[in-house]
A and B are shown apart, each in its own frame.
Chain A
Amino acid sequence: MADLTTDFLGIKSPNPFWLASAPPTDKEYNVRRAFEAGWGGVVWKTLGAEGPPVVNVNGPRYGAIYGADRRLLGLNNIELITDRPLETNLEEMARVKADYPDRALIASIMVPCEEQAWKDILPRVAETNADGIELNFGCPHGMSERGMGAAVGQVPEYIEMVTRWCKQYYDRPVIVKLTPNITDVRKPALAAKNGGADAVSLINTINSITSVNLDTMSPEPSIDGKGSHGGYCGPAVKPIAMSMVSEIARHEPTHGLPISGIGGITTWRDAAEFMALGCGNVQVCTAVMTYGFKIVQEMISGLSQWMDEKGHTNTSDFIGMAVPNVTDWQYLNLNYIAKAKIDQDACISCGRCYAACEDTSHQAIAMSEDRTFTVIDEECVACNLCVDVCPVQDCITMEQMAPGTVDPRTGKVVEKDYANWTTHPNNPGAVAAE
């Protein structure tokens, strides 16, 4: 069986599945249960500075987006950092770490953007024997209005500055958690690296309003008739998170910077995908808030099985394997030509491919009297929409045309050589092939 043991920044954990800093990791009781369930590590709910703790709203903190049968696809929250005294959290962290030395325990921290504030808290965190710290520069609600969280994460100069303080006053790994509420995630990632960060973790939650109550005209979650944007997470954000992870992983100045992947990870497969895009481990939150800690058992068994099937003996074998395949649009092979193909035996004649293609795409599917649907190769641009809307898996596939054959749509012979937009004659900025 594959070895799931992960070494992230020198922090060992029995598997790459950590719980993200969030409500599930707010106290000793939860974290002990998580470790008992099998989680490899925990990023403790974000600590604030000494003094009266923050207060949370006393109404709904979460709002949800559902798929079929109330399957939770997206969750948003307006909860703040821990609202328990700093000392309580530190004592609990120390106890838990002592009892679970083989698990990763990371302290998430958010204090004001002043050197003294960091200088004050870091030695106290160090005393807990936590394996490292994560700087919460991502929280998009509440704290950001007070100049913390995303307010720092949106200014690369601040990130660099605070990271440098942390490296100065703390001797264990420093992970910088990034906000997705920014135009180009490579900038804050580079700032973190320049400040000396050992790793970045992403994504934090996305600014969101999950719904509007059409009776009260209040955004949800609604507090006494008003709502505020919250942080969006869950399966719905996974594609956004993976794109951001890949940007950092393949960007020359940040390439190689360790990444802890976060964003809608629900199954072993999601985790493997993030890791293939360069994440050394992953952090989970919404999935456990939906199903409880037990899901880690499926994540462990699933990742093990897949690694065995692929011949990977260690997680490091496949981390980053997909990164070289992420490229810019301009480098995609324009000589790769495919056509949709409908497997008539698998087709159930629902006609969704037809409606989608006829109404919204290229009129490339024909429908007969007896509801047989066939692709018109002369019109098909291989856009994949029919595949995406077909309810039957593998019923419609994209088949590559062999080089040398003629594409009936363009009348041109399919070239075997790779060619992209940079050299295409229609590109005004094309560079002549040498």
Chain B
Amino acid sequence: MTDVMTPGLAVGRLPAEVLAENFDDLHPALTPHEAVVAADRCYFCHDAPCVTACPTDIDIPLFIRQISTGTPEAAARTIFDQNILGGMCARVCPTEDLCEGACVREMAEGKPVEIGRLQRHATDTLMAQQGHPFTRAAETGKRVAVIGAGPAGLACAHRLAMLGHDVVLLEAKGKAGGLNEFGIAAYKATDDIAAREVEWLMGIGGIELHTGQILGESFQLEEVAGSFDAVFLGTGLSGVNALGVAGEDLDDVVDAVRFIAHLRQAKDLTELPIGRNVVVIGGGMTAIDAAVQSKLLGAQNVTVAYRRGRDQMGASRYEQDLAASKGVNLMFNVQPKEAHADEDEYLAEVELEYTADDGSGLKGTGETVRLPADQLFTAIGQTLTLDAGLELDGRKIAVGPTGRTSREGVWAGGDCTPGDDLTVVAVAEGRDAAMDIHATLMGAN
């Protein structure tokens, strides 16, 4: 019988009911009473630090007060006014680094107001009701192409549609949602929330979704720029960085993003193979999401190997603690040196080299350690693969403050542009670009 001790890759290490429990909501929804109690802790700060910390500038004290007075629907409108993906952001935002990290009660007592869960309470309440909370303005007759149906593209499309423009949303994958649908740990996006949210968002009307449309293959930027009044690029980062070590071409060395996408789309988690020993290379949220989910699938030993110290880790302390609580081993100051295969050419061990920074940059110390590994997930960053002739800023598309690219009539936002690669940042960028597109098309600029 297969269990956590079964060597190599195996499916069904844990029974279905354990898997269901493992992948259940990380932060279950607040009941109405819990929400009122949690809301009551908000001090309704003047010029509140939580709002400043929110990339989408949601009026947090206002929506919390609306919850406390028994109008979660009004609270949800306050949220959606700024962030139409407020439902997903309530689940996936690293609130400990954003609103909750800035909450004065965090400073006062180390226990911030539960802003994320309150936001979820409000947005869940309104989304469970019939209909869409916003109505479209009169049609403008303008047509905008939005390329990429991830958080940035969806936010942009919704805002444009609301303002009366017709939007054609072109998505490369077979399904809209972007990383909300294909990335992000499953226990943060239960009950098919990403897909439900897209459907709900489309309820505004005026958005035509076309899937399987790959920019550069199915169509060219030139074409859409010529046939639409404006274009928004929210294509994300579809490439991944290579490890650059021997053995990385072995079968069981896999890009963590792909592993997570596979897991998120799996119909039955008991059918998903996972190694007994899993090593994840990287230090961001993707690394943590891959590692924790490996553990929850039944891997016996899961290690996150990060080349720098704990403080430099991209994943928040909260995420690190979450991983540790699930039994993930966090290793710091180690970098991959080689992936070793056994005689059958299956991945067997990962060799890591310790690192140190003597002030002149991070270097290997020469000392190495080998970890048994049936699977190696790489989560060392994603890259822009789009080559549409746009000016770049470093390795991303250069944009102005409202997302204007170097090409007139083309805006961009989300992970393909500079800034933090967060859902909430992508939403803000998509929304702001939409407002600028609107102003431009309507002749205000």
Contact = CB atoms under 8 A, between A and B. Distances in A.
B106 to A, nearest CB: 9
A349 B43 contact: no
Interface stretch (B45-53, B268-276, B375-383): B45-53
Interface string B77-114: 00000000000000000000000000011011000000
A61 interface: no
A354 interface: yes
A49 interface: no
A367 B46 CA distance: 10
A338 to B, nearest CB: 24
Contacts of A349: 45, 49, 104, 107
B37 interface: yes
Contacts of B44: 352
Contacts of A358: 46
Given A349-B104, A392-B108, A68 B46 contact: no
B113 to A, nearest CB: 11
A69 B104 contact: no
A357 to B, nearest CB: 10
B3 interface: no
Contacts of B43: 350, 352, 391
B197 interface: no
B426 to A, nearest CB: 28
B338 interface: no
B24 interface: no
A51 B156 CA distance: 78
Contacts of A371: 47, 49
A348 interface: yes
Interface string B142-176: 00000000000000000000000000000000000
B45 A351 contact: yes
Nearest to B108: A348
Contacts of B40: 68-69
User: For this complex, into which size category does the number of interface residues on chain A fall?
Assistant: 10 to 19
Contacts of A391: 43, 108
A423 to B, nearest CB: 41
A355 interface: yes
Interface string B287-322: 000000000000000000000000000000000000
Size range of the chain B interface in the assembly? 10 to 19
A191 B336 CA distance: 93
B37 A350 contact: no
B108 A355 contact: no
B107 A351 contact: no
Nearest to B46: A351
Nearest to A365: B46
Contacts of B45: 349-352
A90 to B, nearest CB: 45
Contacts of A68: 37, 40
Contacts of A70: 33
Given A68-B37, A69-B37, A348 B46 contact: no
Interface string A360-378: 0000000100010000000
Contacts of B107: 348-349
Contacts of A352: 43-46
Nearest to A389: B43
Contacts of B33: 70
A354 B48 CA distance: 12
A352 B108 CA distance: 14
A178 B182 CA distance: 71
B105 A355 contact: no
Interface string A316-344: 00000000000000000000000000000
Contact of B104 (A348, A354, A355, A367): A348
A349 to B, nearest CB: 6
Interface in A187-238: none
For A70, A348, A358, A371, the residue with the greatest tally of chain B CB atoms inside 10 Å of its CB is: A348
Contacts of B36: 69
B246 to A, nearest CB: 51
A351 B47 contact: yes
A392 B108 CA distance: 8
Contacts of B48: 351
B73 to A, nearest CB: 15
Contacts of A69: 36-37, 40
Interface in A35-82: 68-70
A351 B48 CA distance: 8
A99 B33 CA distance: 45
Nearest to A349: B104
A409 to B, nearest CB: 23
Interface string A267-290: 000000000000000000000000
Nearest to A346: B108
Contacts of A350: 43, 45-46, 104
A355 B37 contact: no
Given A69-B36, A352-B45, A371-B47, 9 more contacts: A349-B45, A350-B43, A350-B46, A350-B104, A352-B46, A367-B46, A391-B43, A391-B108, A392-B108
* 4 tightest Cβ-Cβ pairs between the two chains A and B: A351-B46, A355-B46, A68-B40, A348-B108
15 contacts: A68-B40, A70-B33, A348-B104, A348-B105, A349-B49, A350-B43, A350-B104, A351-B45, A351-B48, A352-B46, A358-B46, A367-B46, A371-B47, A391-B43, A392-B108
